[in-house]
Amino acid sequence: MKLHSDDTQQYQTVTGYHAGVVEINAQPFDYSLTVLPEVPPRPWNVTRFEDLTAAHFEQIAEDKPDVVILGTGERQRFVHPRLIASLSNLRIGVESMDSQAACRTYNILMGEGRKVTLALIVGSGA
């Protein structure tokens, strides 16, 4: 009887986080990225929270997740509602939290089978 999961069921899991680096499936990334359970991590062209624009969230809206977990760096910060209007119009929730909490929350929601996107600001400006 087989008691382990198939290798074909590879999900993108956060395996580590420390200032300036996030690990997805033990692979380090030192730049901002978006992560979905069944899609390899993608670069997200954001270096600092202050640089966020509506276009950054429109890019995420194309994936039509159930919820977006926004990791804003070392401390929790909130985006202006006009920046996330493309998500709100599709009834996609956005939860802002510090990046460590965002990574934990993403793993929990992904483990529950939710279609979740982790949008993580990583780098010196985070």
Q: Where are the domains of the chain?
A: 14-120
The residue among 81 and 123 whose pLDDT is bigger is 81
Name the DSSP class of 102. H
Q: Is the pLDDT of residue 2 over 60?
A: no
The residue among 44 and 3 whose pLDDT is bigger is 44
CATH number of 14-120: 3.40.1230.10
CA 12 to chain centre: 11
**Do the Cβ atoms of 46 and 125 come closer than 8 Å?**
no
Q: In sequence order, what are the residues at sequence separation of 6 or more whose Cβ sits closer than 8 angstroms to the Cβ of residue 40?
A: 12
Number of Cα atoms under 13 Å in the Cβ half of residue 45: 6
pLDDT tens digits, 12-35:
999 999 878 999 999 999 999 999
Q: What percent of the chain has pLDDT over 70?
A: 90
Query: Which amino acid is located at 107 in the chain?
Result: N
List the one residue out of 98, 100, 89 whose CA is nearest residue 57.
89
Strands 116-120 and 33-36: antiparallel
List the one residue out of 114, 22, 34, 118 whose CA is nearest residue 70.
118
Query: Which amino acid is located at 21 in the chain?
Result: V
pTM, 2 dp:
0.89
The pLDDT-based confidence of 103 (bands split at 50, 70, 90) is very high
Mean per-residue pLDDT, 37-64:
96
Instruction: Please return the burial class of 83, using the count of CB atoms within 10 Å of its CB with bins 0-12, 13-18 and 19+.
Output: middle
